[in-house]
Structure 1
Amino acid sequence: MAFDSLKAQASAANALAPMQIAQHSLFTAKEKIELLHQLKAEVTGASAEGDDLGFSPEEIDAAIAYVREGIADGVGTQTVFKGDF
């Protein structure tokens, strides 16, 4: 699955922040929303156990809102392929 490598990176030192995921040009808006929801579930579970993953559920909510604003503006429904930009 496309999210498996991102899940591995999320726990690595070079982790993607929620807003970086929201602004990533290689994912559709649907993929971004799915990934951010998965990440929010992990962060919520980790904080319940006393762990800190480096960002809060509120940051993830802000990233989800950013993606949804883009959808309302017609942005992010297609992935960007090399040569499209």
Structure 2
Amino acid sequence: MKAAPGYPSRFEAVEKGTTRNKVSNKELLEKLRKVERGSWLKVYKDGWVGEKKVSLHYFESPSGKVFDFKVKPGWSNL
């Protein structure tokens, strides 16, 4: 994930600030399975970049590949 384009170099995750959800949207899952087969997860990881609260959003493959990485303002889990 740290190699994903746009990953904030000073990101510090918060404790218990990560959730992983199964992707249930069949159309989206078909697209993701073209990248890699298996069960994909939608991940929300909250943390800090300096003094700003941010949430990293991305899809994670069974082998750990990251797809559609985004940094959103604020936290999504806490």
**TM-score normalised by L of structure 1:** 0.22
Greater share of helix: 1
Higher strand share: 2
So what's the TM-score if we normalise by structure 2? Answer: 0.23
Of structures 1 and 2, the one scoring higher in RCO (CA 8 A, sep 6+) is: 1
